[in-house]
Structure 1
Amino acid sequence: MKTLKNHLILFDEECPMCRMYTSAFVSTGLLDEDGRAAYQELPTQACPMVDRQRAANEIALVNQETGEVTYGIESLFKIFALMMPFFAPLFRFKPFVWLMSKVYAFIAYNRRVIVPPAKGENYLFQPTFKLHYRIAYLIFTWLVTAYILSAYTGLMQGLLPASHAYREYFVCGGQILFQGLVIAIVNKDKIWGYLGNMMTISFAGALLLLPAMLLSAWFSLSPYFYLAWFMAVAGLMLLEHIRRSKLLQIGWALTITWVLYRIVVLLIII
């Protein structure tokens, strides 16, 4: 595999996803051994052409010979073209680049709620908050989570009343509104950060239900098996909610209301 020599990729030290995939670029030989660095720890004089705030938003790739800097999806496509040269024309096709730049931005501007930094935000340059991307993330995770839950509840037939087509959409959407009201009272400055984290938990929980749904296509299992699986996932979600609440420093109120909402909804359904 070819190596993109004399290039330096600048990643977000506080972003676990960024550390992971840039490390993979180096370990697989796509970049030199010293081809990655955290933008927070790079002296200004080392790369004077880099826009530090833009690098905090979109990963920067610096050509150390020419000083040219690319950002975001263009940086990644430059590396991917080396790994998959047959796709290089696609990576230069402007409509495709534009579309993927939106997908990249959707992830990049929500990365702190997808995988939050373990030690908080300790550096000067932080990703810019863009409300429309956060709202888009909430809508996306709400729709996917509700869709999976709607399909999963059918596996617990006899244990729960039959679900109408939109019940889970109302339940998931209602929790966003309810928890949004609570966080607005408790700490309104963290409303969008909390809601993003909460919906990441819901989305991850829904994805953890997929293996059980896959089993249902091959085996005829008791509804109690699917109930037990669901409860195990709910337990993991609770632990993750507690962990993220500690990282956000919002106390226990949101975890308590998160649990109470689910209990009340369950009692209403039953």
Structure 2
Amino acid sequence: MLDGSGREAFTELSFKNKNLIDFNRAKNEIALVDHTKNKVIYGLDSLLIIIGTSFPLLEKIARIKPLYWFFKKLYSFISYNRKQIIPSANGSSAAACIPDFNLKYRLAYIGFVVLFSSYVLSIFTSKSGLDINPNFTREFAICLGQIIWQTLFLKLYLKGKLWDYLGNMMTVSLIGTLLLIPGLFLNLNSISPIIYFGIVVVIMFLEHLRRCKILQLNLLPTISWMIFRMTVLGIIIWLNY
């Protein structure tokens, strides 16, 4: 693996490396500079070379064609959505390492979170103590409805930030889903799941606020997000009692 002296921050590139690196490509793919050959390797290939210095067998396995194709797609999936997964406040800088917008991979990320969250929520609801039957279709419709609601309600306000917001909103949903998973394996009493779910909702609410602040958005997206969630929860409880 590379030591500290072998790494440079994107915004702090040396003059020598700036002349070699394709700045636009490096925003989407990690650049590995070989000064002995004055050659730059990008993306998955650069990552595999770095891994191969310590784990050569893993590099060989990852270069098998079907696996290489899969890891190539996975790399792009993460790379094009990385600022929605882990946002940063310096995105307005001209030298910031912000990946290009790729609609295909953004939709893939949103679709992944919708399916994963719908599955976990459909199981968790049966353990919620509210006598709600598990229903994947219902949870899937709710997840899609949240996207449609926020898009229609906030489209004029968000303007050019719509896809960035939707990506961050889905990450909030993903965080909440991951936090719910331990609850699936705990032997909780009738009230504990409700308390547990409430704690997860508070964490999601605070994370949504934090990400909106990074995107330089006001409270409107969070208010709209909470209105939808509280309305849907109320309807589900009402229909089951």
TM over 0.5: yes
- Please provide the CA RMSD for this pair: 1.6
Gaps of 5+ in 1: 1-29
1:144 to 116, 127, 133: 116
**Amino acid paired to 2:190:** P
User: 1:249: how far off?
Assistant: 1.4
State the TM-score, normalizing by the size of structure 1.
0.83
How many equivalent residue pairs? 236
Alpha carbons of 1:165 and 1:146: their partners in 2 closer, same or farther (altered >3 Å)?
A: closer
Q: Specify the SS of the correspondent of 1:109.
A: helix
Q: Is residue 219 of structure 2 the alignment partner of residue 252 of structure 1?
A: yes
**2: distance between equivalents of 1:46 and 1:60?**
10
Q: Secondary structure at the match of 1:62?
A: strand
Quick one: structure 1 residues 164 and 213, their matched pair in 2 at CA, closer, same or farther if it must change by over 3 Å? closer
SS for the counterpart of 1:31 is coil
Match of 1:25 in 2: none
Structure 2 contact 77–105 (Cα < 8 Å) conserved: yes
Q: Within 5 A, what are the aligned runs for 1:1-270? A: 30-124=1-95, 126-157=98-129, 159-215=130-186, 219=187, 221-270=188-237
Matched AA of 2:80: Y
Partners of 2:17 and 2:33 within 8 A in 1: no
How far is the alpha carbon of 1:81 from its aligned partner? 1.4
For residue 161 of structure 1, report the CA deviation from its aligned partner: 3.0
Structure 2 contact 150–221 (Cα < 8 Å) conserved: yes
Cα displacement (A) at 1:132? 0.8
Give the letter aligned to residue 33 of structure 1.
G
State the distance in 2 between where 1:96 and 1:211 align: 30
Contact kept in structure 2, 1:120 and 1:247, CA below 8 Å: no
Q: What's the secondary structure of 1:105's corresponding residue?
A: helix
Deviation at 1:213, TM superposition (A): 1.2
TM-superposed CA distance for 1:182, in Å, is: 1.9
Tell me by how many angstroms 1:152 deviates.
0.5
Secondary structure of the corresponding residue to residue 95 of structure 2: coil
Q: Structure 1 counterpart of 2:174, which letter?
A: F
Unaligned runs of 5+ in 2: none
Please state how far the C-alpha of 1:33 moved relative to its aligned partner.
3.5
Q: Does the 8 Å contact 1:60/1:69 carry over to 2?
A: yes
Supply the distance in 2 between the matched residues of 1:88 and 1:137 (Cα, whole angstroms).
Answer: 26
Report the more deviating stretch, 253-262 or 75-84: 75-84
Residues in 1 aligned to 2:8 and 2:136: alpha-carbon distance in whole angstroms: 49
Q: TM-score w.r.t. structure 2 length?
A: 0.92
Whole-Å Cα distance in 2 between the matches of residues 160 and 269 of structure 1? 11
Q: Distance in 1 between matches of 2:177 and 2:17?
A: 44
Tell me by how many angstroms 1:47 deviates: 4.3
Q: Deviations over 1:81-116 (max 9, x none)?
A: 122222232233233222211100000000010000
- 2:5 partner SS: coil
The answer on whether the counterparts of 2:32 and 2:46 sit within 8 Å (CA) in structure 1 is yes
**Aligned partners of 2:5 and 2:78: how far apart in 1?**
26
Q: Report % sequence identity.
A: 42
Question: Which structure: greater helix fraction?
Answer: 2
